């Protein structure tokens, strides 16, 4: 009897250690990564590199926060790359003729429209599975990107060509509020709002229930169609925010500026621990995921790993994250 209870205790300890590892795996990995890189490459902790990390973090975290809702709702959105392309070239081109505030608002509205369009197409075509949504939004991404190319005639637009005031964008790109950069403060604000929406509101709950079981949710009177529109609108809006943060930082907008953001955002969300199956996850986890993704690519940069190799690493991490997620469910 004693032996058995001891064994049970041991099992309990192993179990709780496992659950800590499961839940905080990303944090552990981040700490490990920081430690190793800091030892191997002291430049890692230098001020200029940390600024560099923050800059990479800014646009991606915005896009990933939006993506989190789509994935919690049990769907996926590959169109963010196209949305970013379109919003970036349209917004930057309107600063000169319309002024910066209208340009900013139109840019954000465009993101919302792109997201809403995705959801309307999903609902009207009845593409209510994640796989169908994957292809549908992939198609939409191509269309948005094509519009970006048509609109800009394929050319890159630069801040220095704009004579009108662009102080807002300059502030977003390189301004500081006290100790923090403007873009970081923006991130904190959006994180706060989205976290409250996610965990404190009935709409947020409806999104979780939709992701958990669409049929059961609908039969219990949850407006799942409304939730689907919401998640895509949030995702489109946050992609637009990400686009603005991105081109403000690099002061130029090419019509292909958003390429790769869809996969990075999905990677960050999944690595953060939000399951692709839907119904589970959090924007806070996504922040961890983004941090890890950005740190990995920064470390690999510092260690002189070629960018081709970095793609392979990113892919491998995504596989690993999905694999771990499936094991967790089983």
Partner 1 sequence: MNIAESEYVLSIKDVSKSFPGVKALDSVSLDVKRGTVHGIVGENGAGKSTLMKILSGVYQKDSGTIIFDGQIIEHTTPHESMKRGLSIIYQELNLVNTMSVGENIFLGRFKEMKGMRGTHAKAKELLERIGCRINTYKLVSELSVSEKQMVEIAKALSFKSKLIIMDEPSSSLTNEEMAELAKIIRQLKSQAISIIYISHKLDEIFEFCDIVSVMRDGHVIDTKPKSEFSRNELIMKMIGRKIENEYPERPRRIGDTLLEVRSINTRKLHDISFTLRKGEILGLVGLVGSGRTEIVRALYGADKVRGHKIFIEGKPVRIRNPKDAIDAGFGFIPEDRKFQGLVLPFTVESNISMASIPKFTKFGFIKKSIEKNIAEQQIKALSIKTPSSKTVVNSLSGGNQQKCIVGRWLEIAPRIFIMDEPTRGIDVGAKYEIYTLMKEIAEKGGAIILISSELPEVLNMSNRVLTVFEGRITGEFNPETTPADAIMSAALGIDGREI
Detail the DSSP E strand segments found in 131-197: 157-158, 176-177, 180-181
Question: In terms of CB distance, is 79 or 198 closer to partner 1?
Answer: 198
Question: In terms of CB distance, is 213 or 252 closer to partner 1?
Answer: 213
Q: Does 126 bind partner 1 (CB under 8 A)?
A: no
Question: In terms of CB distance, is 85 or 280 closer to partner 1?
Answer: 280
Name the strand (E) or helix (H) holding 253: strand 252-253
Closest separation in Å from C-beta 267 to partner 1: 23
Q: Does 200 bind partner 1 (CB under 8 A)?
A: yes
Q: Which residues, other chains included, contact 55 with Cβ-Cβ below 8 Å and sequence gap of 6+?
A: 183, 249
- Residues of span 204-233 touching partner 1 by CB under 8 A: 204-206, 208-209, 212-213, 215-223
Instruction: List the structure tokens of 22.
Output: 């499961």
Selected binder of partner 1 within 201, 303, 311, 326 (CB under 8 A): 201
Q: What are phi and psi of 259, to 5 degrees?
A: -55, 135
Closest C-alpha among 287, 84, 110, 326 to residue 190 = 287
Question: In terms of CB distance, is 242 or 279 closer to partner 1?
Answer: 279
Closest separation in Å from C-beta 233 to partner 1: 16
Rounded to whole angstroms, the Cα distance separating 23 from 140 reads 35
Question: In terms of CB distance, is 158 or 226 closer to partner 1?
Answer: 226
Residue 124: exposed, middle, or buried by beta-carbon count in 10 A (0-12, 13-18, 19+)? Answer: exposed
Q: Which residues, other chains included, contact 273 with Cβ-Cβ below 8 Å and sequence gap of 6+?
A: 23, 25, 26, 281, 285, 288, 289, 325
Question: In terms of CB distance, is 175 or 223 closer to partner 1?
Answer: 223
Q: Which residues, other chains included, contact 196 with Cβ-Cβ below 8 Å and sequence gap of 6+?
A: none
Closest separation in Å from C-beta 223 to partner 1: 6
**Candidate ranges 124-132, 195-203, 238-246, 249-257; the one touching partner 1 (CB under 8 A):** 195-203
In Å, how far from its chain's centre is CA 173? Answer: 19
- Residues of span 260-319 touching partner 1 by CB under 8 A: 279-280
Closest separation in Å from C-beta 296 to partner 1: 29
Q: Which residues bind partner 1 (CB under 8 A)?
A: 200-206, 208-209, 212-213, 215-223, 279-280
């Amino acid at each position: 009897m004693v032996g058995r209870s001891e064994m049970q205790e041991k099992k309990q300890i192993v179990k709780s250690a496992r659950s800590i590892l499961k839940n905080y795996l990303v944090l552990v990995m981040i700490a490990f990564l920081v430690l190793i890189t800091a030892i191997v490459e002291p430049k890692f902790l230098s001020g200029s590199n940390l600024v560099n990390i923050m800059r990479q973090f800014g646009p991606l975290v915005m896009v990933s926060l939006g993506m989190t809702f789509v994935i919690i709702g049990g769907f996926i959105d590959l169109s963010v790359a196209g949305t970013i392309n379109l919003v970036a070239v349209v917004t930057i081109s309107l600063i000169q003729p319309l002024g910066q505030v209208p340009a900013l608002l139109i840019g954000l509205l465009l993101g919302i429209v792109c997201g809403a369009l995705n959801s309307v197409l999903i609902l009207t075509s009845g593409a209510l599975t994640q796989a169908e949504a994957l292809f549908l939004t992939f198609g939409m991404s191509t269309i948005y990107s094509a519009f970006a190319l048509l609109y800009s005639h394929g050319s890159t637009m630069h801040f220095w060509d704009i004579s009108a005031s662009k102080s807002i964008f300059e502030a977003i790109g390189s301004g500081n509020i006290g100790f923090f950069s403007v873009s970081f403060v923006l991130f904190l604000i959006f994180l706060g709002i989205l976290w409250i929406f996610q965990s404190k509101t009935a709409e947020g709950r409806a999104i979780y229930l939709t992701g958990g079981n669409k049929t059961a949710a609908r039969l219990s009177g949850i407006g799942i169609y409304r939730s689907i529109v919401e998640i895509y609108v949030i995702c489109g809006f946050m992609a637009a925010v990400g686009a603005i943060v991105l081109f403000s930082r690099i002061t130029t907008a090419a019509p292909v500026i958003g390429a790769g953001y869809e996969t990075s955002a999905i990677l960050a969300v999944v690595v953060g621990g939000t399951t692709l199956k839907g119904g589970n996850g959090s924007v806070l986890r996504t922040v961890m995921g983004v941090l890890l993704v950005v740190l990995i690519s920064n470390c690999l940069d510092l260690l002189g790993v070629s960018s081709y190799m970095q793609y392979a690493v990113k892919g491998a991490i995504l596989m690993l994250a999905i694999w771990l997620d499936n094991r967790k469910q089983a």
